[in-house]
């Protein structure tokens, strides 16, 4: 769809956006985010995409961002888009079980949006937590909804446990997480260089118990894992191209984020993780793969060690004693087992994804359109 827009002016894109949304049923989406760096651009994709009706944004304190900061940053990012008024909420501060967390410096970057300012708003989160907001939004819909997860699966697992009868309301869960043939991404020099886990992916690693619960459900799942996202590496050349095509506040924001993280790009370790998952929601050609059962590894140990976050409470939200797990195997995703089959994305179209981000972030906000 977006390829048709590539040669149109910014004003034309805005007009098309308005006409499209009024005449065609867009894909209804609830976006669940941990508010890491790649989540910001993914949020702008789902909030600005002409084929998506964003119903709400949920988060928690399990991933990179903390709840208090998320509740300020989410409406600020949405103000850059064509979906400035959707409801948003936060969930629990800690994983369902286990003591693992993202590195402190990464969390600080998430809380500050890498130092890049966004509009200040007076908007407040709903009086519901994330699980209740997901349930509420689904209950209002006559059509099925896509859940897009760009962080830990904590909120999704808790929603499945509390509201299993909601499941028919969901057409599918598109999730960024896990990996199978690709190396894991837990080991990052300068932060976690001596970590023993060489196979896990961060979104699964921080709450592997939640991930296993989701894979064990009957929810239709599409896994946008490292096998797929490693095909869309962000390069200095792409960052330069993006800068040359900036036309809107959303694109200007993301350009500044890329500038601030040029070291990350130059390290050749930055990929279109959550952006690709967001695009898969409405461009199924970007997820070519097969159906397989998936299970998540976690093995209890008697006590924690270097990678244990001792600030977490010893009692979980469910009222159980929080368990310690082996960090070397926690969160590794495996093909096989007895869980229902899910779609594992294996191949994508990198250039199509790169082009799409530029086009979507440059769709002008309706509030910025001058009357003709």
pLDDT digits (tens, 9 = 90+) for 50-83: 999 999 999 999 999 999 999 999 999 999 999 9
Segment 284-326, tens digit of pLDDT: 999 999 999 999 999 999 999 999 999 999 999 999 999 999 9
Segment 170-209, tens digit of pLDDT: 999 999 999 999 999 999 999 999 999 999 999 999 999 9
Write out the two tokens for 226: 């490292």
Residue-level pLDDT at 25? 81
How high does pLDDT run on average in the chain? 93
pLDDT band at 23 (very low <50, low <70, confident <90, very high): very low
Domain assignment of residue 7, yes or no:
no
Q: Are strands 145-150 and 324-325 parallel, antiparallel or unpaired?
A: unpaired
Domain assignment of residue 359, yes or no:
no
Domain assignment of residue 260, yes or no:
no
What stretch of H or E contains 156? helix 154-162
pLDDT band at 9 (very low <50, low <70, confident <90, very high): very low
CA-to-CA distance for 328 and 92, rounded, in angstroms? 25
CA-to-CA distance for 295 and 336, rounded, in angstroms? 7
What's the whole-model pTM score?
0.92
CA-to-CA distance for 271 and 261, rounded, in angstroms? 12
DSSP string, 271-331: B-HHHHHHHHTT-GGG-EEEEEEEEE---EESS--TT--TTS-SB-TTSSBPPEE-TTTTT
Domain assignment of residue 55, yes or no:
yes
Segment 79-126, tens digit of pLDDT: 999 999 999 999 999 999 999 999 999 999 999 999 999 999 999 999
Q: Are 326 and 369 in contact (CB under 8 A)?
A: no
Domain assignment of residue 123, yes or no:
yes
pLDDT of 15 > 90? The answer is: no
Domain assignment of residue 265, yes or no:
no
**Least confident segment among 14-18, 272-276, 283-287:** 14-18
The structural domain count of the chain equals 1
SS3 186: coil
Residue-level pLDDT at 215? 98
pLDDT band at 331 (very low <50, low <70, confident <90, very high): very high
Domain assignment of residue 298, yes or no:
yes
Within a 10 A sphere around the Cβ of 297, how many other Cβ atoms?
A: 18
190: domain range? Answer: 26-232+271-349
State what percent of residues in the chain have pLDDT above 70. 92
Domain assignment of residue 279, yes or no:
yes
Environment class of 184 (CB within 10 Å of its CB; exposed 0-12, middle 13-18, buried 19+) = buried
CA-to-CA distance for 275 and 40, rounded, in angstroms? 9
Instruction: Output the domain CATH number for residue 116.
Output: 3.90.245.10
């Amino acid at each position: 769809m977006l390829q048709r827009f590539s040669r149109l002016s910014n004003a034309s894109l805005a007009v098309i956006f308005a006409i499209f949304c009024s005449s065609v049923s867009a894909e209804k989406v609830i976006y669940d985010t941990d508010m890491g760096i790649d989540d910001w651009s993914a949020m702008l994709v789902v909030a600005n995409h002409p084929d998506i009706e964003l119903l709400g944004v949920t988060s928690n304190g399990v991933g990179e961002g903390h709840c208090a900061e998320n509740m300020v940053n989410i409406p600020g990012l949405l103000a850059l888009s064509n979906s400035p008024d959707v409801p948003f909420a936060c969930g629990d501060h800690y994983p369902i079980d286990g003591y693992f967390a993202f590195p402190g410096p990464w969390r600080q970057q998430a809380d500050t949006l890498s130092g890049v300012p966004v509009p200040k708003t007076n908007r407040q989160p709903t009086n519901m937590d994330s699980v209740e907001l997901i349930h509420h939004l689904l209950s209002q819909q006559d059509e099925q909804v896509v859940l897009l997860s760009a962080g830990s699966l904590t909120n999704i697992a808790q929603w499945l446990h509390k509201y299993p009868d909601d499941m028919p309301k969901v057409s599918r869960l598109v999730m960024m997480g896990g990996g199978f043939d690709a190396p894991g991404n837990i080991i990052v020099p300068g932060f976690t260089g001596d970590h023993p886990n060489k196979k896990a992916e961060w979104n699964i690693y921080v709450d592997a118990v939640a991930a296993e619960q989701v894979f064990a459900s009957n929810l239709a799942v599409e896994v946008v894992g490292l096998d797929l996202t490693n095909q869309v590496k962000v390069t200095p050349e792409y960052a330069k191209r993006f800068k040359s095509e900036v036309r809107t506040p959303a694109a200007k924001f993301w350009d500044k984020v890329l500038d601030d993280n040029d070291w990350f790009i130059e390290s050749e370790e930055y990929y279109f993780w959550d952006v690709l998952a967001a695009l898969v929601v409405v461009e199924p050609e970007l997820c070519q793969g097969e159906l397989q059962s998936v299970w998540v590894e976690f093995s209890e140990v008697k006590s924690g060690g270097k990678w244990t976050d001792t600030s977490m409470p010893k009692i979980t939200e469910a009222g159980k004693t929080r368990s310690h797990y082996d960090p070397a195997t926690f969160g590794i995703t495996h093909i096989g087992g007895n869980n229902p089959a899910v779609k594992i994305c294996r191949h994508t179209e990198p250039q199509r994804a790169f082009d799409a981000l530029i086009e979507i972030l440059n769709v002008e906000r309706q509030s910025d359109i001058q009357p003709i």
